[in-house]
Structure 1
């Protein structure tokens, strides 16, 4: 009879059967000598065993195997003995490993089988009572998962088509913008000839707004274009103090002649990290531009850069501007998210600056975080390892390219 220590008592059997009946799956416990220990109604319903096979305590499993082979499993005849031998090997196995399998029965249902050893007392070295067979009908779930995979594939195709279309459209829009900016530069150049005050003001406004539109398009291109449409990152050693100083001077130059907060820069010397200087310059530019934009004219912006003993560079941009509400401090790095106080104020922006900056920092194995209090100010901290893990496609000599003017902030938040 079942159990290496003799038959189960009536109380033990009653508790075991009640436990199996509480399970949503079909459950069967087979003893090491291939007899039924316990079975629940769900198991008998799955295979139509009521009245067809004896499933009482101590009944042999041979008739059960024969019934399953004849009516449900995809084989018959000589397969009865093969299934019986497989059942015997499982029932007498000493392994503690649970097994999971899925198979389709003749009527088209998909069943998931979970097989686990059952030991008295639950201890790994306890007496083996048998093996628990749990069977679950996952036909509907499988169909749902198949349909979900199909829809996911369709959505993926649509997303790639959208990305390709968006990238091409944005490239087409950038071409005339580049022409506008070039002619503005030419007309503003003193060598071209003198301009009246009104003409100079008009051209400056055109140039400023064309740059803003170009940077918005660049942000959209970064967000929507697929990986193949984006320029490859080019990793090479660069100077963090030089980068930070260049961004700060550019921010000061843009604010010349207009009310702006006081900007201070403090940079320590240190080892040159390896990374894409242009991408990181854009990231720092986004932080500094936002700080200047959202800080009142009587406020201040402090930019510091220093190497850390942990083998990282730390760049901090602190301001005493409008700050970021608590509920936006986690989502502020997501695309198109702008804090509520930034939207209420007349600050232009697309909500892409911080998202793009975080992508650039993560590409270099670094981190970007914020501490802020609404109405008090914000502190953005960027940390970059001295030696980033260089992506395979970027492992090439740095292309010689002319240092471009840092972009305007793509603006993200407050």
Structure 2
């Protein structure tokens, strides 16, 4: 049993950022601070902390190695090192082998290096972060929380890609992502809506810089919009979402575009940014859509594609009981939610305008057959809970109703 002062550090490494949070063991787990090192590799990188200590300052961090050392130096100076009990890492891709959260070992790290080809935009940096913490704090346990885990048991028909079957043996299939967010959301849905709601026909829409949807029944993933990589599905801030595969050959012939250049385009130059030609930020686009037709078209395309996926997943589920919006756009953009839901009355989706404008927890009209909710997602808290479970870190006893509502979500994290 760990002491009540035990602290869990969560790490979420991206291609140009490191986001982190610190939790103190207890019931509930208490977030003492969170922060980020953003724009790694650029001249205007920043180090920001919010919580028990607050600051934001410019940094010179040319790469993730320098950035993680800045973070570890700061942790050693400004936190109780003896209280730091474990580190939990969000790992985007575990391939076909790794999906259960587990303690990181040298053998796992070696195999994850081999899986970097599955997600070259995220995996190398995420592995680097685990290695850096091991070298600085060799006795500190680290846990990998795989973002594909929630979707691991999707039906075979949803996992299978329609390409030559030999690639499936190499691990090429639909994996899905945002699993930590979805596991948290299902747990929260059980808490606020009851177990019957969480066990029903649910569509979860995690709409942020990265955006995806998941069809869930009996608390389990039935299908999801992202696929072998996080580039697939709906258009995102800079990712294209689904495209005609023939575009690869067309651009190779007409512009001599290489596979690497195509990957760069669809991940960092497409989506809202590519269509608007001005911004990848939904707030900016909404602000300028009345003056800029490109901005208006980017917003319209995003809403239209999300609407299509809702319709498709309602068909896959055989109907719909609950629709949940989460993520930066899903939680904070009433206009976007309204446009997505417009015309979906035939599915039983009807919004109440004032509730939606106020970002209330339930935004559906009383007459609507489908309950539409806005739920704040918390991947960092999900990671911290998972670390406690994997390492057997005991926290104070939960009230029975909270324990029941959280158990399904934590078991799938």
Shorter-chain TM-score above 0.5: no
State TM-score, norm by structure 1. Answer: 0.21
Decide which structure has the larger Cα Rg and report it.
Answer: 1
